[in-house]
Structure 1
Amino acid sequence: MTTADGNRARHAVVVGGGLAGITAALQLADAGVRVTLLEGRPRLGGLAFSFRRGDLTVDNGQHVYLRCCTAYRWFLDRVDGAALAPIQDRLDVPVLDVGGRGGARARLGRIRRTALPVPLHLAPGLAAYPHLSLAERASVARAAFALQRLDLADPALDGTDFATWLHRHGQSARTVEALWDLVGVATLNATAPNASLALAAMVFKTGLLSEPGAADIGWARVPLGDLHDTLARKALDSAGVRTELRTRVGAVSRADGGGFHVDGGGFHVDVAGERLDADAVVLAVPQREAHALLPEGALDHPGRLLDIADAPILNVHVVYGRRVLRRPFFAALGSPVQWVFDRTGASGLTDGQYLAVSQSAAQDEIDTPVSALRERYLPELERLLPAARGAEVRDFFVTRERTATFAPTPGVGRLRPAARTRAPGLFLAGAWTATGWPATMEGAVRSGFDAAGAALSALGHRHQHPLQEAA
């Protein structure tokens, strides 16, 4: 294919159709590059997807984002889905504490913010937070000021665990449970002892201490597949991207005279066995898959990709015969339950209520049988929600993502590679790459920006970072 001026059109192949790959493909296509996107699954969206269960449309897990997630918000705008995943007007997280009191009614607290300047925007909410003592609330304020002074560029932060830092700054076990881990487990997919201080500081400084509205929560009011598959595919088609699903890539090898050959394999696709010539390749797949596809010499230390561990997330899904929760979501203390979301409207359920219980850092439960999880979580939901007592349970099922995120352990920062490799024309994308963010939808989209920007520079295309004006 040639351009209007008679030159050969540059061709980029993006391997992987998750948020990182979709973002990279859109960025490259918007800059005038011819793009082919290859995805092994029968859908786009990576690990943030939906599926059908009878009459329900079910998300594999609950995903939220914050107002400070400017890259994911760009993604929503780009696929014309922002109105389908609105953000709270103002941060408000209900926190129910059953405190091991048996059948006693759960005590309600709230994590809220005001419109006051940072850090005063959190002060009234913290002062009224009933799950901490007055002394513990004062200690949180002191730790927040210390956190604000940390330099995120300091490499020493990556080698320290968050729990050690919290202990040094006077945080009690209760304070860690009722505040720091309440937020940190959901965003980092790790408890404080297992989380890098660098990533934890990044989350709390950006989300809670950058601007008053940074931590306001947004979530999809429709199935994730509507956003990350249906609307994303429409945007890719409109941008001129050739998208091939059910297409496994067997190898990426150097071509004579530069560039790469991408051998497309797989099944049930019309490009099976086709060799695609590409000027640039973006590997937007999990780290182990990327390691298997990397040509020799592409990274100085390719084995480090295999040292980036995975962390699981478990989701428990319960369909009740009646309404048992009046809030859109809540977090829990004193219970194995972490976060509960009402997914009734998004699922298409018209009678009863469908709740999704999102359990991060679920290493101890990821392989637990459904029957045992049912025996554990149904009574816990009844402790938290009196209206659930005696309610008909129409369905109970579990989704497990054993490799939901990379583990944000101390030292992981030195293992995460940049987008650009040593092989000219070959780039990496994925939330596990060196974005500075934990494994979130925001991190995935940012990695797509990084890979596409590096590829466009290598191809000689002028481009502007999508968040340049917002940064």
Structure 2
Amino acid sequence: MNRVTRPDGAHAPDPGAARHTVVVGGGLAGTTAALALADAGVRVTLLEGRPRLGGLAFSFRRGELTVDNGQHVYLRCCTAYRWLLDRIGGAGLAPLQDRLDVPVVDLDRPEGRRLGRLRRDALPVPLHLGRSLAIYPHLSLADRARVGRAALALQALDLTDPALDTQDFGSWLAAHGQSPRAVEALWDLVGIATLNAVAGDSSLALAAMVFKTGLLSDPGAADIGWAHVPLGDLHDGLARRALDAAGVRTEVRTRVTSLDARGDGRWSVRTSGGTVEADAVVLAVPQREAHALLPAGALDAPERLLGIDTAPILNVHVVYDRKVLAHPFLAALGTPVQWVFDRTAASGLSEGQYLAVSQSVAQDEIDEPVAVLRERYLPELARLLPRTRDAVVRDFFVTRERHATFVPAPGVARLRPGARTEAPGLYLAGAWTATGWPATMEGAVRSGVGAADAVLGTLGRPRPAHLFALEEAA
């Protein structure tokens, strides 16, 4: 191979020579990086230890059902994930709402069960939510007024200010007049689902980014989208076909055991089945796995990766013998139940209704036995959905993601590394890297784009014209 000399005297591959990049990890971050690099003319090998692609957004079979491990949604402002859906031909299978509409049922009311809605109007920000908040029945008139003032203060925050990451969102809300009820019925209703943490445990920087981008940037930014097919159809099936068409060599059931920098500027990627040589490596695996694979000197303080804690998400799955939920999804207050989604059509169920209950901030429940969770959640669903009281439960099961997201605690920003490492030719991707986003599908895809950009810059390759541009949604 031709070589050039770097300013430090070491040899590096000639930018004009053929290039090969190995992407380690076939989640959304790795898949994105592989597609972007292949589209730029780079030869790519994608290595995934599991028998499938998709990372933590996958599906499995249970009898006649195709089950998603957890409910995943995205918003119209998730422009990177929307780019990925378009790139793999899946946008039509995961459509967005025409307009934000979230039914919210409160069970903790003196008059009994009460339904409210969070909707947007076709008006400019912040008026697009004004009418909805003005009649939102789960807040007092005083709370509604104070919410508006807090939203304006939130909109004025500078997301580039590093001081925001030293504060917690709960304290900021309290300082801006938000009552515990307002936090429960509005701020945490959104924040728990997007951050996997309550306001008091969340970095103000990440919370502000969520609310400014999702609710205060564009009238349609918070419109919700979700897969109307199993996630595996998108993140494994369609993604695999797109990778194949782009010329990516994809190997599943291939776990990487070490990364070794060679003296000629290339890399040896060792697996249980052999060794793959590469000009560049994108390490797109969870932070603890990345820490174990990083060679010495790749990061100034690699132990910081171990400081990025993880948080679980619990999903309760219930199949009834009849339809009990009239909405595609709803959120709940005054009950342990957080969000309920109708997954009947997507699962392939032919009779009855299949509901998925998504429970974030599940540290206290993630290891509870199924019998205990059944005893807890079936009565709560009966309170929330009166039609369940006459229905027969045909199946009840639980899926657990113990390390579903990173913890968005104050101070986490200083722990999250960028795409580039100190080791030439080695790059990082994953929702836990420094994307500015919490641990979402959007953050994962953005990290893959960022890693691909870094590789292309080093290899001297032009960026594909159609690749999602991070700056457009910054």
Task: Sort the TM-score into its range (normalised by shorter chain).
Answer: over 0.9
Is the Cα contact below 8 Å between 1:105 and 1:384 reproduced in 2?
no
For 2:79, the aligned partner's letter is: T
Aligned to 2:85: 76
Aligned to 2:25: 16
SS of 2:332 mapped into structure 1: strand
Query: 1:403-455 deviations in whole A, cap 9, x for unaligned?
Result: 00000001000000000001010000000000000000000000000000000
SS of 2:390 mapped into structure 1: coil
2:145 maps to which of 133, 138, 149: 138
Do residues 53 (structure 1) and 62 (structure 2) align?
Answer: yes
Aligned to 1:394: 394
- 1:215-294, aligned counterparts within 5 Å? 215-265=222-272, 272=273, 274-294=274-294
- Percent identity, aligned pairs only, is 75
Aligned to 2:452: 452
SS of 1:88 mapped into structure 2: coil
Aligned to 1:420: 420
Q: In 2, distance between residues paired with 1:211 and 1:395?
A: 41
**Residue 462 (structure 1) shift:** 1.4
Q: In 2, distance between residues paired with 1:360 and 1:110?
A: 21
Q: In 2, distance between residues paired with 1:470 and 1:98?
A: 41
SS of 1:389 mapped into structure 2: helix
Q: In 2, distance between residues paired with 1:439 and 1:362?
A: 16
1:34 maps to which of 43, 47, 52: 43
SS of 1:171 mapped into structure 2: coil
Do residues 89 (structure 1) and 91 (structure 2) align?
Answer: no
Do residues 188 (structure 1) and 190 (structure 2) align?
Answer: no
**Residue 275 (structure 1) shift:** 1.3
Aligned to 1:268: none
Tell me, which stretches of 5 or more residues in structure 2 are unaligned? 3-14
Is the Cα contact below 8 Å between 1:105 and 1:383 reproduced in 2?
no
For 1:460, the aligned partner's letter is: G
Q: In 2, distance between residues paired with 1:88 and 1:468?
A: 24
Is the Cα contact below 8 Å between 2:446 and 2:470 reproduced in 1?
no
Is the Cα contact below 8 Å between 2:168 and 2:202 reproduced in 1?
yes
Do residues 329 (structure 1) and 329 (structure 2) align?
Answer: yes
Query: 1:152-182 deviations in whole A, cap 9, x for unaligned?
Result: 0010100100000000000000000000000
Q: In 1, distance between residues paired with 2:434 and 2:17?
A: 33
Tell me, which stretches of 5 or more residues in structure 1 are unaligned? 266-271
For 1:373, the aligned partner's letter is: L
- 1:94-173, aligned counterparts within 5 Å? 94-99=103-108, 105-173=112-180
For 1:352, the aligned partner's letter is: G
Query: 1:217-254 deviations in whole A, cap 9, x for unaligned?
Result: 00000000000000000000000000000000010011
Q: In 2, distance between residues paired with 1:369 and 1:275?
A: 42
* Runs of 4+ residues deviating >6 angstroms: none
Q: In 2, distance between residues paired with 1:191 and 1:421?
A: 32
**Residue 8 (structure 1) shift:** 4.0
Distance change in 2, residues 1:363/1:468 (3 Å): closer
**Residue 467 (structure 1) shift:** 2.2
Q: In 2, distance between residues paired with 1:248 and 1:8?
A: 28
Q: In 2, distance between residues paired with 1:40 and 1:440?
A: 21
Q: How many residues align?
A: 459
TM-score when normalising by structure 2: 0.95
Aligned to 1:442: 442
**Residue 312 (structure 1) shift:** 0.3
**Residue 264 (structure 1) shift:** 1.5
Q: In 1, distance between residues paired with 2:440 and 2:133?
A: 26
Is the Cα contact below 8 Å between 1:10 and 1:34 reproduced in 2?
yes
Aligned to 2:12: none
Q: In 2, distance between residues paired with 1:82 and 1:433?
A: 26
Q: In 2, distance between residues paired with 1:197 and 1:364?
A: 24
**Residue 390 (structure 1) shift:** 2.4
**Residue 256 (structure 1) shift:** 1.8
For 1:457, the aligned partner's letter is: G
Q: In 2, distance between residues paired with 1:84 and 1:469?
A: 27
Aligned to 1:466: 468
**Residue 96 (structure 1) shift:** 0.2
For 2:45, the aligned partner's letter is: T
For 1:247, the aligned partner's letter is: T
